[in-house]
Structure 1
Amino acid sequence: MNKPFLYALCLCVLSACAGFRAQDLPELPPQQALWFQVDKLDTQGNTVQTSLLSVQGSEDGSSRWVMTDAFGAPQARLSANSRGWQADGFAPPNRAAKKLFTAMFPLLKQDFRRPQTIHSDPNHSWRITPIADPEGA
């Protein structure tokens, strides 16, 4: 194989690893926080786990995604920017959350107020319910 082809192939693979394109990023005003109840559902539609998700915009156009369990322990902490997902803090990697967050991009580009269901794989789906800011801001 020739070198230009290998470089192009590597570039495609690396960009696919990011999980999204920069134009897919939702644009949130700086310091705006959106809050969601996230219910992980089994194949029958029963709730397996409930989490709280906060998505906050930044000055540089990136966004910070923090999902916690019912006790406030972080399940996923990631930042999305034009280069892809970046770890935010010491939460362990959570591929399922990364897939969920990426699948939520189109929802954040519209003003949705009713629960939406996202199917991330054959065994699980997620019900995303927007909630008011718990701090009342």
Structure 2
Amino acid sequence: MACRISELVIDAADPERLATFWSEVLGYVEIGREDDGSIGIGPPGVGFGGPLPVLVLSPTSDPRPKKLRLHIDVNATDRDQDAELARLLALGARRADVGQTGAESWHVLADPEGNEFCLLRARIQPV
């Protein structure tokens, strides 16, 4: 028997803002709120325990470290990489420099709080 990733928790100065951003990026919906201000988002009609992990945006006042040791990679499901890049930038993502050469097949971006993530080239099937 093995484990699988059921949720990813992201510390956030503004959980509401990040929940809105990542919901738009991933096509997720809010699935719950906790008394501590955490907001859970996940696939519509599925929520926690489904085939995809949910994201939990957890409030924190701690300063963000310079570089995270873990980041999220995303792939477009219904458009090419250039069109998806334009969509993500319009949602509030920004380009991030983490030392890439410019020859990579992916784009390094940051969410509204500066958390890096990558937009990969391949288009994949939605779940």
Do these two structures clear the TM 0.5 threshold for a shared fold by scoring above it?
no
TM-score by length of 2: 0.26
- Name whichever structure is richer in helix by fraction: 1
TM-score after normalising by structure 1: 0.25
The higher radius of gyration belongs to 1
